Structure 1
Amino acid sequence: MGQALSATETEVIDACRGLLAQGAISRVGGVWAPRVGGAAQLCAMQVPPDRLEQVAAMVSAQPGVNHNYEREHTINLWFVLTGCDAAQVEAATSAIEAQTQLPVLRLRMQRAYRIDLGFDLHQPHSNHHAPQQAAPSVISADMPLAALLESGLPLTPEPFSPWAAALGWPLQRVLDTLERWLAQGTLRRLGLVVRHHEAGFTANAMTVFNAPDDAVDALGERLATQPGVTLCYRRTRAPGWPYNLYCMVHGRHRAETLAALQTAISAAGLARLPHEVLFSQRRFKQQGGRYFAAHAPSSSPVIAPALHVG
């Protein structure tokens, strides 16, 4: 980072610490490719408005919840649960149902066409992307390092040395493993993980489509290549929820986001499909996924916790 910015090591570390304290970044760490380990599930609830903050707090208290948003819809609370396997995710989902006495829609991912929030902060709607390919999973022997990476890099002059000490590994093994993950696509990228709200991208639109099962993959692949689409995936339908194709577009303003979204929908040939646009209203929790937390070494370096933001 210092070389790219013509800055000293101390300046880079101080800047990262400042950005972390401000909430502008969630960590200096990695972004995993889809399905390289653990399990995740998008969930949704229809919460009475007078209970929304109370229920959102209960949901956010679950350690496996990494995103928790209010969206503009009668089904108004949307969150993502992560865990080491599907059984752990289901147990957490059932615990939320029991605690809130409200049903949870389980919207499991079937295929990812694009998952990448590394969009251009200056021209977020200008770049075209190719569909992403499946990447090798994290092997069991490397999962303790994966758990450390999820928490974020220690902001010290030799950040990988504390990891090597905690794992009881030679430093070179840590470096070689990270380089292998990046080369094979298991890690999409390693660097600053920016919080898009704090970067000015406050208009966050999730669009859901009811696509024919025999055409959804072709449509999803086409939609994933459109400028401005950062997330695109196929999910299971649920009772009372007929949608199976999802995409996300972020923008600085609602009008800008809607314009980019409508352009993407038209260009992908989806305009005639039944669909709904759900803008986010409030963010109750945002942090990185915790797929490998159960494998963290007991002597893990202490990292600043992710912020819970209302």
Structure 2
Amino acid sequence: MQGVNDPIDRALLNDWQRDFPITERPFGVLAEHLGTSETNVIARLRARVEAGQVTRLGATCAPNTISASTLAAVAAPEGRIEEVAAIIGAEPGVNHSYLREHDWNLWFVATGPDRDHVDAALARIAERSGLRVLDLRLVRPFNLDLGFSLRGEDPRAPQSQAPETDVLQPGDRAIVQALMRGLPLDARPYATLATTLGRDATEVMARIRVLSAARIIARLGVIVRHRALGWRSNAMVVWDLPHEAITRAGPVLAAHPGVTLCYERTPVEGVWPYRLYSMIHAQSRKDALARLTEAAALPELQGAPHLALFSSHCFKQTGALVAQERTIA
């Protein structure tokens, strides 16, 4: 874990990416586990945010439950990469934007409170850039936890149960949006969050527990910037497999060591045939390619055409947009 030598900081950034306590003074709970004080835990997290190693302490959301999202890509000419990336990043619903090694080189995730919002964002990007936008919609997830083990192997199995959307109530969207922006780093963060929402803290914590148990909140905890922590060789690997074969290959690939995301998406006929996606995060390109070689040797993937699109630059990384905001003029 590059730049994080202190054992308390290492534990804080690795062990609390999930299952952050939903209680009045959660940092006190972390302090008990880490053998330090509540104020020290808060100060350490603030320092890591300021250093750019932590995005926020907050939530990730199961896709297409309380909001809508899609993966998209454009082929920006070399001389226009920065310009087009700025157009993409100006959309508030774009929460991840990366430059990758391929002709289709700018990849981003567009989010919004509903599909119409996402479609409108993609249309604006296409109009303002003058470029075709590939809309690669999610078909089914195999691992979208988004947690990232900083110590190597993560023994946690991918989540296999679908979110329970029937628990949703009016007001939940505002809570999730606040958690996407991040919990305040103070002694009573849920009380502070509740005040900004004009709601009771006990009620807000109860709803967060319900949404977490229902897997609508996929993860609540420290959201790290893996590149800033030394994991800079990151490849999105796309596999050309038919839908039926992905039924077998997806769960196996999702559980393979080194694979941090895995899902099926719609192809684009005549342009982009790939349906199965996986992310590999490593500290070196050699290690990433070794992981890919191991994955490609799995019986369910042997002989499947695939591409490794290594990330070369991160333009944007923030929480998803789940509540309506003012549309860009």
With normalisation by structure 2, the TM-score equals: 0.85
Corresponding position: 1:103 with 2:132: yes
The CA deviation at 1:131 is: 4.9
What is the aligned partner in structure 1 of residue 184 from structure 2? 154
What is the count of residue pairs matched by the alignment? 294
Provide Cα deviations, 1:95-151, integer angstroms capped at 9, x if missing partner: 001101111011001100111232321114x64624522112343331111111111
Q: Is the 8 A contact 2:113 2:322 kept in 1?
A: yes
Q: Is the 8 A contact 1:45 1:76 kept in 2?
A: yes
Q: Is the 8 A contact 2:95 2:319 kept in 1?
A: yes
The CA deviation at 1:293 is: 5.2
> Closer, same or farther in 2 for the Cα pair 1:152/1:131, shift >3 Å?
closer
In the alignment, structure 1 segments of 5+ residues that lack a partner are 296-310
Corresponding position: 1:62 with 2:61: no
Q: Pick from 220, 233, 256: which aligns with 2:263?
A: 233
What is the aligned partner in structure 2 of residue 300 from structure 1? none
The CA deviation at 1:224 is: 1.1
Give the 5 Å matches for 1:147-296.
147-239=177-269, 240-292=271-323, 294=325
Determine helix, strand or coil for the equivalent of 1:278. strand
The CA deviation at 1:268 is: 4.9
Instruction: State the alpha-carbon separation in 2 of the partners of residues 293 and 123 from structure 1.
Output: 38
**What amino acid maps onto 2:61 in structure 1?**
W
In the alignment, structure 2 segments of 5+ residues that lack a partner are 1-29
What is the aligned partner in structure 2 of residue 92 from structure 1? 121
Instruction: State the alpha-carbon separation in 1 of the partners of residues 324 and 280 from structure 2.
Output: 29
> Closer, same or farther in 2 for the Cα pair 1:22/1:259, shift >3 Å?
same
**What amino acid maps onto 1:6 in structure 2?**
G
Bigger drift between 261-270 and 144-153 goes to 261-270
Instruction: State the alpha-carbon separation in 2 of the partners of residues 211 and 155 from structure 1.
Output: 45
Instruction: State the alpha-carbon separation in 2 of the partners of residues 121 and 219 from structure 1.
Output: 26
Instruction: State the alpha-carbon separation in 1 of the partners of residues 81 and 149 from structure 2.
Output: 33
What is the aligned partner in structure 2 of residue 77 from structure 1? 106
What is the aligned partner in structure 2 of residue 27 from structure 1? 56
Give the share of equivalent positions with the same residue, in percent: 39
**What amino acid maps onto 1:175 in structure 2?**
M
Bigger drift between 133-142 and 21-30 goes to 133-142
Instruction: State the alpha-carbon separation in 2 of the partners of residues 86 and 217 from structure 1.
Output: 26
Instruction: State the alpha-carbon separation in 1 of the partners of residues 220 and 247 from structure 2.
Output: 29
The CA deviation at 1:185 is: 2.2
Corresponding position: 1:17 with 2:63: no
Provide Cα deviations, 1:4-59, integer angstroms capped at 9, x if missing partner: 21111111111111111111101111122333211111111111101111111111
With normalisation by structure 1, the TM-score equals: 0.90
Determine helix, strand or coil for the equivalent of 1:154. coil
Q: Is the 8 A contact 2:296 2:303 kept in 1?
A: no
Q: Is the 8 A contact 1:237 1:244 kept in 2?
A: yes
Q: Is the 8 A contact 2:63 2:69 kept in 1?
A: no
What is the aligned partner in structure 2 of residue 132 from structure 1? 160
Instruction: State the alpha-carbon separation in 2 of the partners of residues 211 and 56 from structure 1.
Output: 30
